[in-house]
Amino acid sequence: MKAAVNQIYGSPDVLQICRIPKPAPKAGEVLIQVHATTVGRTDSCALRAQPFFMRFVSGLRRPKHTILGLDFAGTVEAVGDAATQFTPGDRVFGLTPDGHGAHAEYLCMPEDGPIALMPSGLQFEQAVLGEGAWYADTYLNAFQLKPDHKILIYGASGAIGIAAVQLSKYYGAEVTAVVAERHLNLARSLGADRVIDYTAEDFTKINERFDFVLDAAGKTTFFRCNRLLKSTGAFSATDLGPWGQNIFLELWSSISGNHRVVFPMPKSSKALVEFLRVRMESGDLRAIIDKRYALEDIADAYRYVETGEKTGIVLIYMQ
């Protein structure tokens, strides 16, 4: 099978399209023929091993896992012994348990892992929204978002931000989306109650207070957004922040008891993917595809993601 392989850390130039043996499912696993996957910020950080301390988990000198890719949608080709939840031919989607392995034509997954049947009638490329929705729902659950809450989402045009707007509306919250001018109509179409063009006005100076502020782009800070929060409000971000400040701010928030900053660590599960399946079936959640690349051109997909200008999902399809 073909796979995008990175034997060393580095820029997208280190990626090579290689032919490697097709995996065989072990007991309790299913073999999936991958039809669609994505490249996101998680993959880009893993490729470059940034921040550096990631190497203590992913491999100090060289990566332990040389095939990246978190999102997948495809077809079950075979099942291992004692695997009973899926049958060959099933159309499935999900998240790789360890955040790697989907940038290949075939992938083995534990059947009790974060994998579910795709909603009927959905195309494969419409089902690879797991990574953005996974992060978004993690933060919204950390906020304990409820119908009477007001949330501001900065960077509401990326994969996480787009999912956060849609899921916030599902939870019944009032949503203010902050995006660039070219994304105003997109944010409105996702259900945002108010849309702010950050290129035309400083969103931190609006005369409004929120229960929660989510930096879905990882490009602002708690100190800049603090004045937007109600006295009991909380801030979270999808990035460590300058000098890793968000980790220390969350620690201080916990010690002081004010809980002004929350920085949850996402954990994938079958329950999460089943939740996403139901949300897609009901129309509460849909994928927004920015660009599509063949697996052979995956390095270009990484380069585009690293511009920080993508809208929604950067899709990789298998030929």
Q: What is the pLDDT of residue 217?
A: 93
Domains detected in the chain: 2-128+287-317 (3.90.180.10), 131-256 (3.40.50.720)
Mean pLDDT per block of 10 residues along the chain (319 residues) reads 96 97 97 98 92 80 93 98 96 93 97 96 95 95 95 97 98 98 97 97 96 95 96 92 84 86 90 96 97 98 95 94
Select from 132, 32, 28, 41 the least CA-distant residue to 82. Answer: 28
What is the sign, positive or negative, of the torsion defined by CA atoms of 97, 98, 101, 102?
positive
Q: Measured between alpha carbons, how far is 189 from 286 in angstroms, rounded to an integer?
A: 11
Count of beta carbons in the 10 Å neighbourhood of residue 135: 24
Quote the pTM value.
Answer: 0.94
* 232 Cβ contact list (under 8 Å, min separation 6): 211
Q: Are 70 and 96 contacting, i.e. CB atoms less than 8 angstroms apart?
A: yes
pLDDT digits (tens, 9 = 90+) for 72-130: 999 999 999 999 999 999 999 999 988 899 999 999 999 999 999 999 999 999 999 99
